[in-house]
Structures are given as C-alpha cells and as structure tokens.
Amino acid sequence: MSVFASPIALDRYLVAGSAGFPVQVLHGDDSWSELARIAAEPAPDAFVIVTERTLPRAHIARVLHHLGTAAPTCVRWLTGQDVPDGTALTPGSVIVALGGTRVIDAAGRLAARTGGRPRLVYLPTTLRAMSDSALSLVGPAGPRPAPVLVRVQLDFLTTLTPDAVRSGLSALVRNVLAVSPAFHDRVADRLRPDARYDLETLASFIALSLEVRATLMIYDPLERGPAMAFHYGRTVADALRGLGADAPRYGEATALGMLVAARVARLSGLLDEEGERAHRELVARWGVPMELPAMVTADDVLGVLRRTASPGRPALVLLDRLGEPHIESGHLATEIGEDLLRAGLDAIAGRGAGTSRTTGAAEATGTATEGSPARRDLATAAGPGRP
C-alpha cells in the first residue's frame, strides 16, 4: 500500500540495527480496547505513566482507565526536563511516556538510569513526537533504550491547535528535502498554510515519516552515518531555540535552519538554484515563517552558535542536491565558517534585520562571487575534493 493511501490504521515493525519495535497508528474508540492487552504482554508489575501537567486531563484519564484494567497504574509528573529522582520502579514495571518529545526524552532517561531495564511504551501526543522523536533511538543526551511499543493514537491530535499541528510537520518537510524528494510534489499538494488537516491526511504524513525512518535506521540506528540526514536544519534550529523568550517554535526553527542550510550549500557550490527554490516553495506551502523573529538578528544566532560549537566551528548537514546529503571527510556534517554562516542567515533575515557581510552581487543573485567572504571562507575550509 502506498504511504499516501492515507490509512487510518497502520501496523509496522521498525528495525534499527540489532533493535526493533512495533509502531501502530490507530484511531477511534474501538482501538483503545487493545492498548492494555498489547502493553501488558508479558504481564507487568505496574504501569508508570510519565507525563506533563499541561496535557489535557481527558487524555491522561483515558490512558489510566485502559491501562488500569491490566495492572496497577500511577502517574509521575515531569519537573523541568526530568522525572524527579526517587521514582520506584520494579524490574517488571512498564514506563509509559504520554506526551510530546520532552516527555519521551525524560522517559528514556528514566529507563536508562533504572536497574532491571524496565520496558518502555511510547504514547506520543504531538505530531512531532509521532513522526520523529518517538521513532528515534537517540535523544539529546545520546542513545536511549528502544521501546517495546510505539502507539500512535490519532485521537490525541484532535486537541492540538493549528499552530501546534503546523509546527509538528517539521519532520515531514525535512524528510522530503533531505531524504525522499520523490514525494516533494505530492506533499506540497497536501500541505495547507492554515494547518487544518483531516486525520487521514495526518496519518499519511506520519506513515511517510515512518517509512523514511525505516529506510535509514535499519543500518544506522544511532544516526551517525546516513541517518544524520535527520539532523538537517538542526544546528541553526537548536541555536534559535536557545534564544530564550525570543525563540520560535521547534518546527519554525527547523524550517529556518533548513533555509539557512540551503543557502550555505548554494553559496558553497553544492546545491543548485532549483534545489534552494524547492526549499522555499515547500516551506511556503507549509505555512511557517520564513524570516527570523522581529527581535532576532543574525548576530544573536551567531552568538549562540559560537557558544555551542565544540570543538571547532559549527557543523551543518548540507545537500549536494535534494535527497543527497553532502559527505565531508566521511561525515554528513560540514564545519562552516562565520562569514558563510552569516551569509546563510542573511537568507532568513527580515528587512533591516542583521548585518550582511557578503558583497552586493552575492546578495542580489544568491551566489558567492570569487572574492566574496563566503567564497574565501569556503576556500579556506574546503580542502581537497571541495569546490
């Protein structure tokens, strides 16, 4: 079945190196009755639900009701980024991550620091978690245990705002640009700037992201080789997210990071004009902002990149062409000098924002002239085999 057949039910087994786990995408009241049975095999001592107080109480109550029929069930609330120390877990406990990416990361850390290797079940409640973080074996602090089940209940999406849905599509757009450009036109036709989608369309987006994950993770579960394509746009996105009160949503930050990477790749003689234009067209259909927030300048972003780049200079995943990440010295991350980064950031600077150091010709055409700082920086950093 095509991943664009928009199934409302999907049962897939994701292989990631020596690990593997089932991923189920379901919807409707009837689908809930199976949750306790599947999560309770083999029989657990208890379910420990990790979640946040901001999650709709109806979601928590529904999960408590169904899991509580199979084993004693309790809730542990996130405090900051983690579950407080002292959470009692027996070897037969099942940790259930009910929430978005932050909850999934915290549940993974809780499982990793607890003896006895308790089982992990992910019940993602955001579109980003459903199509990205719940399908990954790598968190912010490094590798995390594989879950025994990822259960995507599409019902959770009905309580999200359009802004939250729009932001959650970042993995879909990234996967199309960096891994599977054959889906570019079909995804572009389905994207809506107002972010109002029916559940079948969202299910098809999740299914596509799952298939892309399955393609790369089978040989690269820790995302250190070809699966580093999933880091496309992340370096600049993380810097933007580090701006505190001025930080955009994760999806918006990822979009800006991909636009910067596309401009840097073009200035470096890698991605052509058509490839950069495809980025801008897809992001425009997605409906996220294509410029830095009003109070943010290129200098602000560069300042964060300087502080967080260790060792060496900031490294970006770049594309030779759509779906083909650039390989530099055997890696998919290429160190980028400040002048070239600034030129890339100029591509997302609003009118009057930031300070461009490229030449007037480079600004007008979107390419680096022979004597421009971007081209000189590239010549210094490139080494053999680079333009």
Amino acid sitting at position 232: Y
10-48 exposure pattern, b = at least 16 Cβ within 10 A, e = fewer: bebebebeeeebebbbbbeeebbeebbeebeeeebebbb
What pLDDT, on the 0 to 100 scale, is given for residue 48? 92
Q: Positive or negative CA dihedral for 376, 381, 384, 385?
A: negative
Three state DSSP letters for the chain:
CCCCCCCCCEEEEEEECCEEEEEEEECCHHHHHHHHHHHCCCCCCEEEEEECCCCCHHHHHHHHHHHCCCCCEEEEECECCECCCCCCCCCCEEEEEEECHHHHHHHHHHHHCCCCCCEEEEEECCHHHHHCHHHCCEECCEECCCCCEEEEEHHHHHHCCHHHHHHCCHHHHHHHHHCCHHHHHHHHHHCCCCCCCCHHHHHHHHHHHHHHHHHHHCCCCCCCCHHHHHHCCHHHHHHHHCCHHHCCCHHHHHHHHHHHHHHHHHHCCCCCHHHHHHHHHHHHHHCCCCCCCCCCCHHHHHHHHHHHCCCCCCEEECEEECCEECCECCECEEECCHHHHHHHHHCCCCCCCCCCCCCHHHHHHCCCCCCCHHHHHHHHHHCCCCC
What pLDDT, on the 0 to 100 scale, is given for residue 200? 94
Q: Are 1 and 208 in contact (CB under 8 A)?
A: no
Q: CA separation (Å) from 12 to 25, 99, 127, 158?
A: 9, 21, 18, 23
Q: Are 175 and 48 in contact (CB under 8 A)?
A: no
User: What pTM was computed for the model?
Assistant: 0.86
Q: CA separation (Å) from 354 to 44, 154, 198, 343?
A: 56, 41, 39, 10
pLDDT along the chain (387 residues), means of 10: 55 93 90 79 86 95 92 90 75 91 92 77 97 94 90 95 97 98 96 96 96 95 95 96 87 97 97 97 96 91 87 91 95 93 92 37 36 38 32
What pLDDT, on the 0 to 100 scale, is given for residue 358? 32
Nearest to 17 by CA among 179, 228, 231, 214: 214
What pLDDT, on the 0 to 100 scale, is given for residue 360? 32
What pLDDT, on the 0 to 100 scale, is given for residue 380? 38
* Cα 373 to Cα 381: distance, rounded to the nearest angstrom: 12
Q: CA separation (Å) from 53 to 99, 103, 381?
A: 10, 11, 48
What pLDDT, on the 0 to 100 scale, is given for residue 353? 43
Q: Are 366 and 374 in contact (CB under 8 A)?
A: no
Q: What separation, in Å, do the N-terminal and C-terminal C-alpha atoms of the chain show? A: 42
